[in-house]
Amino acid sequence: MKRVTTLLILLLFTPIAQGAVLEGALENIIDGDTISMQSNTVRLEDIDMAKYSHRCKDYSIRLYAPWRRITKVESSFNMSTHSLPSAVVLGGWVTGLWTARALAQEGIRVAVVHTHSDDFAGSSRHVARTIRLRPAPVNPAQLAERLLSQGGGFTGGILIPTSDFALEALSRFRDDLSCKFRVHVPAWEIVRRFLDKSETATLAREVGVPRPTTFGLIGAGASDAVDAPVPFVVKPLDSRRFSQAFGRKLWIVKCPEKLRRCVEKLRMAGLKASVEALIPGGDDKSYNYTAYVDTNGQVKAEFLIHKLRKYPPRYGIGSVITPLLDKATATRLSEATLAMVRRVGYFGLVSAEFKQDARDGRLLLMEINARCSFVQQLAWKHGVNYPALLYREAAFGEVPYLRATPGPQVLIHLKNDLLGALFFRASEGLTWKEYLGPYRYDNKCYAVWCWRDPWPFFVEWSHMTGLVLRRARMLGRRSGNSWRA
């Protein structure tokens, strides 16, 4: 009860007390009849688009009415009658939300496809239309089929993936989807080198990028046990299917009995996983190199991230991130990532995560995301609009060079960070003073909360409340059965 009360207090007062206004890239300034956009991101208006300026103006004016959705732009900006294509964002979680906001900033009509029951990006007022696929797809083939059969209102739109699930569907079925949409992702032979963790490990060895020590494979068609010092990590080869089956990214094994249970679960799900060494060091030793590589192999934009906290700790996604300012570390990250990208001829968005080994200082590759990712949102706040770069190359075949500009010192995913504080702060050895440190920055932003687009924040928390209640009922039934027995 004490934790629940603390959570409610933090939820209600943290954004307000901190003055949580997402300034800069999302906001427009209206001066009489003219509009100036505060951003150094790619400007689609630079491409002879004066005929669309009145729609951009209408859109900008709507941004200053938080309680109203965008209706005028939706009705006057029809894909079938205008040459500027819509953007169709696949996935409605936090990554899909900021991607939609970043594209809408450029005056682009945005549709969001919800691929999961907990998606909430479609509640944003910057989304012209939300597409809920019925029934919900459970594999990439079904997602491609549903898009072809239910996405008729956005024929010719540019598909933008925000999850591995969506990326695999676009890459595997690129030719089929290209009959109805614009698909700007590499062929499956290239993309699978990043989605299949065994292929990523092979690629890293080919170019000499260090990774955590691997002790072998377990699961379907693999060994029952491995000789590895505990604790170690069980990392799936197919992250998408593992996450769907078990609701997490990996397992941390601390005893032989847990390893036996892991093997049984993997075999029942028909999955394989690699056993890797657990890298010592806290979450603040994690870094991301993000970039946009065009079809000619040129880096058009890059931005480096330093993760301060993750939720859940050690294997979750970043809940508090900040720009990486150390040039020596940045150079090492960029060289390693680009060596792998150019080895396979990849183009598009890339975000490579590394962790520094506390024992010897080496930067070890953890994973590569070849799509829009959560951490790239901070790059957008610094003027590097990655979704707009992808859109521009898909629509017009060209991409400008972009440089980062001064922006927020820290980005916080409030919900995940509050949950991390309640359930993991003590075990991670954080004092309340250390935990609250990022919130004391004057120049900060939030992953979901926005005064001018507040509704997604409340929808996200309503989903969390429902999840907590469902789990509480489940635990209640279990304890009741145990009592009756």
Would you say residue 471 lies in a domain? Answer: no
Shortest CA distance to 372 belongs to which of 308, 292, 302, 474?
A: 292
- Based on the domain organization, do 302 and 349 belong to the same domain? yes
Residue reference for tokens 């919800």: 114
pLDDT, position 40: 34
- Looking at the fold, whether 146 and 218 belong to one and the same domain comes out as no
132 in a domain, yes or no? Answer: yes
pLDDT computed for residue 50 by the predictor? 32
Q: Are residues 287 and 421 in the same domain?
A: yes
Dihedral angle of Cα 159, 165, 167, 170, to the nearest 10 degrees: -60
- The pLDDT value recorded for residue 429 is 84
User: What per-residue confidence (pLDDT) applies to 57?
Assistant: 30
Sign, CA dihedral 54-56-57-58, equals positive
pLDDT at residue 3, as a whole number: 54
Length of the chain: 485
pLDDT of residue 51: 32
Find the domain containing 266 and state its range: 213-276
Helices marked H in 352-450: 376-381, 386-396, 414-424, 432-435
Instruction: Decide if 130 is inside a domain.
Output: yes
Tell me the CATH number at 75: 3.40.50.720
> CB under 8 Å to 286, separation ≥6 — which residues?
306, 307, 310, 318, 353, 354, 355, 356, 366
Domain membership of residue 12 (yes or no) is no
Assigned domain for 7 exists? no
Helix and strand totals (H; E) in the chain: 17, 18
pLDDT of 474 reads 62
59 and 151 belong to one structural domain: yes
pLDDT score for 155: 85
Asked, as a colleague might, if the bond just before 438 is cis with ω within 30 of 0, I would say no
Partnered with residue 114 across adjacent β-strands are 132
57 is a domain residue: yes
Pairing of strands 232-236, 272-277: antiparallel
Please list the pLDDT of the chain residue by residue as tens digits (485 residues). Answer: 555 455 554 554 444 444 433 333 333 322 222 223 333 333 333 333 333 333 333 332 232 233 333 333 332 233 333 468 999 999 999 999 999 999 999 999 999 999 888 899 999 999 999 999 888 898 999 999 999 988 777 889 999 999 999 999 999 999 999 999 999 999 999 999 999 988 999 999 999 999 999 888 888 877 777 888 888 889 888 887 888 888 788 888 888 888 888 888 988 988 888 899 899 888 999 999 999 999 999 999 999 999 999 998 888 889 999 999 999 999 999 999 999 999 999 999 999 999 999 889 999 999 999 999 999 999 999 999 999 999 999 999 999 999 998 889 999 999 999 989 988 888 888 899 999 999 999 999 999 999 999 999 999 998 877 666 666 666 565 444 433 33
- Pairing status of strand 158-161 against strand 214-219: unpaired
264 and 362 in a common domain: no
Say whether both 54 and 95 belong to one domain.
yes
75 with 126, same domain: the answer is yes
Last residue of a domain, one of 169, 186, 203: 186
- The total of structural domains in the chain comes to 3
Same structural domain, 172 and 230 = no
pLDDT of residue 468: 67
* Residue 44 and residue 94 in one domain: yes
387 and 288 inside one domain: yes
- Tell me 238's DSSP state: B
- Take residue 255 and report the two structure tokens written for it: 């005893």
SS3 call for 444: strand
Which CATH number do you get for residue 320?
A: 3.30.470.20
Within-domain flag for 197: no
Distance CA 321, CA 336 (A): 21
The pair of structure tokens assigned to 48 is 């002879």
The token pair that represents 165 in the structure block: 């699930």
Please tell me whether residues 178 and 236 are part of one structural domain: no
- 112 and 232: one domain? no
Residue at 109 is within a domain: yes
